């Protein structure tokens, strides 16, 4: 959740005028996204006499961590996935066809607004829907022409170094696609049991599809207040995924290890955020210890959890 930059009304109005979306009528800095600043923008097309219809968009300003040279990959990916029927927001292109513009030297993109709210206590039915939505992204991602090397998070190698046995056994030959690799509940919009939007693709890259499922598992299936594993959520998530794309035997066998790697990555990246966040930033820092506990859980019980029933 972050708004790192203050954007004046005049600057925003000028930016919006570069797109064929009507006139700016409202802009609210929103507490969403960790590496970027985001605004919920409302525009109105005037239709002569009376007030026209309003539309809403998300304006994202890329602040930290993201290599500007990689933004075309992310934005083209959103367009590709949206065109293939995935529940992701498409980008809005400006009057010259570009999906990326600059304000004061910072890259910004205008992105489709999707309805839905992020579930804070997901139900199994919601987890199942998310599994299915993730698998659809994986299937559609396979013919995306853009390339982004399997870097995942800069924190992953460091995290793996923390646990030599995970690193030594890390699989490399599982099926690959473009993966989201950060699909926390915060990054999923839902209406009831329907996934209305997967958002925040800024860790997307070429990678192991099963790793992406393991990340999602680690992010979704633990009760927030107590940190307890919720087996029903875990089963529903995997079942939803397999309703769209079946895991092969090697992928399923690797899930306990992949989930440990996912946890270690979040331990490292959160520790880094914890130290790095500027005091004035409107961002909620997250406790790295959550994922130390989840890592231990997968190390001890991962084999049982992911065993095929």
Q: Under the rule (CB under 8 A), what is the footprint of a second copy?
A: 1-3, 6, 8-13, 24-32, 40, 42, 44, 113, 115-121, 189-191, 279-285
Residue 191 or 307 with smaller CB distance to a second copy: 191
User: Least Å distance between CB 38 and a second copy?
Assistant: 9
Residue 145 or 280 with smaller CB distance to a second copy: 280
Query: Residue 201: which residues within 8 A CB-CB, separation 6 or more?
Result: 74, 77, 78, 88, 180
Query: Residue 298: which residues within 8 A CB-CB, separation 6 or more?
Result: 218, 256, 259, 260, 263, 305
User: Least Å distance between CB 79 and a second copy?
Assistant: 22
Residue 27 or 254 with smaller CB distance to a second copy: 27
Residue 243 or 282 with smaller CB distance to a second copy: 282
User: Least Å distance between CB 5 and a second copy?
Assistant: 10
User: Least Å distance between CB 20 and a second copy?
Assistant: 20
Contact 272, 155 (CB under 8 A): yes
User: Least Å distance between CB 246 and a second copy?
Assistant: 31
Contact 3, 61 (CB under 8 A): no
Q: What are phi and psi of 81, to 5 degrees?
A: -70, -40
Residue 8 or 97 with smaller CB distance to a second copy: 8
- The full length of the chain comes to 309
User: Least Å distance between CB 284 and a second copy?
Assistant: 6
Return the exposure string of 224-233: e unless at least 16 CB atoms fall within 10 Å of the residue's CB, then b.
Answer: eeeeebbeeb
Residue 13 or 163 with smaller CB distance to a second copy: 13
Sort 287 into a burial class: Cβ within 10 Å, 0-12 / 13-18 / 19+.
exposed
Helix (H, G, I), strand (E, B) or coil at 222: strand
């Amino acid at each position: 959740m972050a708004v790192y930059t203050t954007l004046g009304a005049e600057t925003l109005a000028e930016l919006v005028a570069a797109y064929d979306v009507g006139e700016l009528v409202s802009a609210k800095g929103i507490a969403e996204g960790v590496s970027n600043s985001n605004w919920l923008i409302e525009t109105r097309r005037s239709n002569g006499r009376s007030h026209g219809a309003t539309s809403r968009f998300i304006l994202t300003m890329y602040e930290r961590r993201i290599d500007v040279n990689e933004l075309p990959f992310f934005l083209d990916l959103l367009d590709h996935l949206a065109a293939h029927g995935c529940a992701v927001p498409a980008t809005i292109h400006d009057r010259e066809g570009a999906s990326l513009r600059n304000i004061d030297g910072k890259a910004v993109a205008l992105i489709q607004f999707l309805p839905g709210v992020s579930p804070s206590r997901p139900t199994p039915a919601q987890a199942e829907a998310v599994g299915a939505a993730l698998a659809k992204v994986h299937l559609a991602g396979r013919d995306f022409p853009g390339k982004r090397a399997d870097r995942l998070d800069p924190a992953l190698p460091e995290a793996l170094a923390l646990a030599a046995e995970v690193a030594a056994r890390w699989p490399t030959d599982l099926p690959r696609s473009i993966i989201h690799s950060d699909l926390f509940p915060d990054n999923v919009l839902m209406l009831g049991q329907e996934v209305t939007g997967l958002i925040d693709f800024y860790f997307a890259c070429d990678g192991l599809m099963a790793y992406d499922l393991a990340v999602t598992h680690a992010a979704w299936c633990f009760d927030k207040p107590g940190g307890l594993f919720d087996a029903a959520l875990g089963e529903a998530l995997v079942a939803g995924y397999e309703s769209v794309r079946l895991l092969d035997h090697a992928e399923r066998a690797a899930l306990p290890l992949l989930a440990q790697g996912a946890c270690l990555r979040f331990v490292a990246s959160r520790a880094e955020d914890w130290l790095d966040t500027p005091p004035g930033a409107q961002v909620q820092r997250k406790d790295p210890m959550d994922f130390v506990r989840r890592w231990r859980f997968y190390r001890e019980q991962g084999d049982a959890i992911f065993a095929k029933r």
